[in-house]
Amino acid sequence: MSRKYYQEEYETMPRDKIRELQSKRLVEQFKYVYDNVEYYRNRCKEAGVTPDDIKSIDDLDKIPFTCKDDLRATYPYGLFAVPRKEVVRIHASSGTTGKQIVVGYTKGDLDIWDDCAARQLVAVGADEDDIVQDAYGYGLFTGGFGIHGGATKLGCQVIPISSGNTQRQITFMQDLKSTVLCCTPSYAAYLGETLKDMGLTPKDIYLKAGIFGAEPWTEEMRRDIEKSLGLKAYDIYGLTEVLGPGVAFECSEQAGMHVNEDHFIIETIDPKTGKRLPDGEKGELVFTALTKKAFPLMRFRTKDIGVLNVEKCKCGRTFVRMSKPMGRTDDMLIIRGVNVFPSQIEEVLLKQGYAPNYQIIVGRENNTDTFEVKVEMTPEKFSDVIAEVKAQETKLENALLTILQIKAKVILVAPKTIERSEGKAKRVIDTRKLHG
Ligand code: ADP
Ligand code: ZN
């Protein structure tokens, strides 16, 4: 009989006690960040806020926001709060201009991350007897290592297979008898199809649960994946800036993700005014890290839109639940789990001598994202020799791959054939209906 919670004391703490704990930790953490991060201290000084002003969680609104721009402005180490030798791990994610943002962890931070990820694993019914196939990408992306740490701490057997090599994934599922699969939902869907293509059925493998996150997915997709792989599929939310996977996790109820509130405060705000919204109203999600030491963000604006639910959950956990992200306040696309900004594509086109007349077309076929970039040839580059056009397309595809880390199909079209807009250019056509 597997256990119900990983850290019951916290996961089922009465709400007034959670608030008390958050309040105490917020006061300490604000002072810690103020004292140790010069950039943020200056921001607070501009706003006229000092640690004396933050006496409890009721003063949260007084604390200035941190935005993605702040992370880029301080690249690489400007928001770190500990000496570099205490930072034992770095992760990174792409920013709006293609520039990386870099985050870091102390040993203690990694320990907290492991706990957060372990809570997710326990919530899907995993324990020491389980074999976790970690098919999130390993590397600077937080997915692979995040789950890896939690599963190791819990005592599962981890298969650090990373993403890709799809047939081998299936072979390992059969031979090593993996019981829990962790990867992006689109990769899970692809694995489901591959299983079928290999002439196998869910009866030939041993999976019972899947932890799928890092990109938006629908309930419909959940049902498809559950059927094709013969498991129960759970959502997990995270972002590099705040921690990585494990900021919030779904439980057996599959109805919203519990935010690890002993480590993070979540708020929803009106993205236009920055004003805090009552629970239950849709708004931009904002996180404050209460316990992280190396990279401790105060009121980080995620640009994800969501809703909070404080109702008690049937699973017994008292942590607030956040909805699946319902969209973004910026134009970031998540394609096959990778963050892509139209501005990155535009930059590549301009560098390669094209005019910014292009269209990004994203769709979903057989549960896998399709990604095409239609680009007008300039009169100088124009050619009607197929081989020449093909060569230009390949060159552009390679340039895009280097920047985006994901393959796009480039289609070159004749000059002046992409429709011009009279208002805002419609650069992105996304037919995936991810938030339906
Ligand atoms: P991650 O390693 O989780 O992909 P990134 O920093 O690369 O982290 O991207 C974070 C963004 O990914 C979030 O702001 C959100 O838009 C998206 N994301 C993460 N998890 C989910 C999820 N479960 N559902 C929908 N979107 C998600
Ligand atoms: Zn629950």
Sheet with 300-306, strands from edge to edge, namely 264-269, 283-289, 300-306
Point out the ligand 1 atom lying closest to the alpha carbon of residue 236: 23
Residue 218's pLDDT is 83
Q: What ranges in 59-214 are assigned the alpha helix state H? A: 68-73, 107-123, 142-154, 166-175, 185-197
Ligand 1, atom 21, residue with closest C-alpha? 214
Residue 97's pLDDT is 52
Residue 343's pLDDT is 81
- Intra-chain end-to-end CA distance of the chain, in Å: 37
Q: Cis peptide leading into 14, omega within 30 of 0? A: no
Point out the ligand 1 atom lying closest to the alpha carbon of residue 257: 23
CB neighbour list of residue 102: distance below 8 Å, 6 or more residues apart: 75, 76, 77, 90, 91, 92
Residue 422's pLDDT is 64
Q: Give the Cα separation of 420 and 417 in Å (integer).
A: 9
CB neighbour list of residue 246: distance below 8 Å, 6 or more residues apart: 113, 116, 117, 119, 120, 146, 150, 236, 238, 260
Q: Give the Cα separation of 82 and 295 in Å (integer).
A: 8
pTM of the model: 0.88
Residue 423's pLDDT is 62
Residue 418's pLDDT is 86
Contact 292, 74 (CB under 8 A): no
| 326 to 112, 174, 201, 241, 306: CA distances (angstroms) | 27, 36, 33, 19, 6
Two tokens at 421?
């807009």
Residue 94's pLDDT is 65
CB neighbour list of residue 236: distance below 8 Å, 6 or more residues apart: 120, 211, 212, 213, 214, 245, 246, 248, 249, 250, 257
Q: Give the Cα separation of 243 and 111 in Å (integer).
A: 12
94 lines ligand 1 (CB under 6 A): no
302 lines ligand 1 (CB under 6 A): yes
Q: Give the Cα separation of 231 and 225 in Å (integer).
A: 8
137 lines ligand 1 (CB under 6 A): no
For the chain, domain boundaries:
8-329, 334-430
Spans of the chain below 50 pLDDT: 96
Point out the ligand 1 atom lying closest to the alpha carbon of residue 332: 16
Residue 36's pLDDT is 98
What pLDDT digit, counting tens, does each position of 230-241 carry?
999 999 999 999
Two tokens at 225?
């994946």
Task: Say whether domain 334-430 belongs to CATH 3.30.300.30.
Answer: yes
Q: 179-206: string of b/e by CB count within 10 Å (b at 16+)?
A: bbbbbbbbbbbbbbbebeeeeeebeebb
43 lines ligand 1 (CB under 6 A): no
Distance of CA 325 to the CA centre of its chain: 10
- DSSP character for 66? B
- CATH homologous superfamily for the domain 8-329: ANL, N-terminal domain (3.40.50.12780)
324 lines ligand 1 (CB under 6 A): yes
Rg (CA), the chain: 23
HSE, side-chain direction, 13 A CA sphere, residue 182: 36
Q: What ranges in 198-325 are assigned the alpha helix state H? A: 219-229
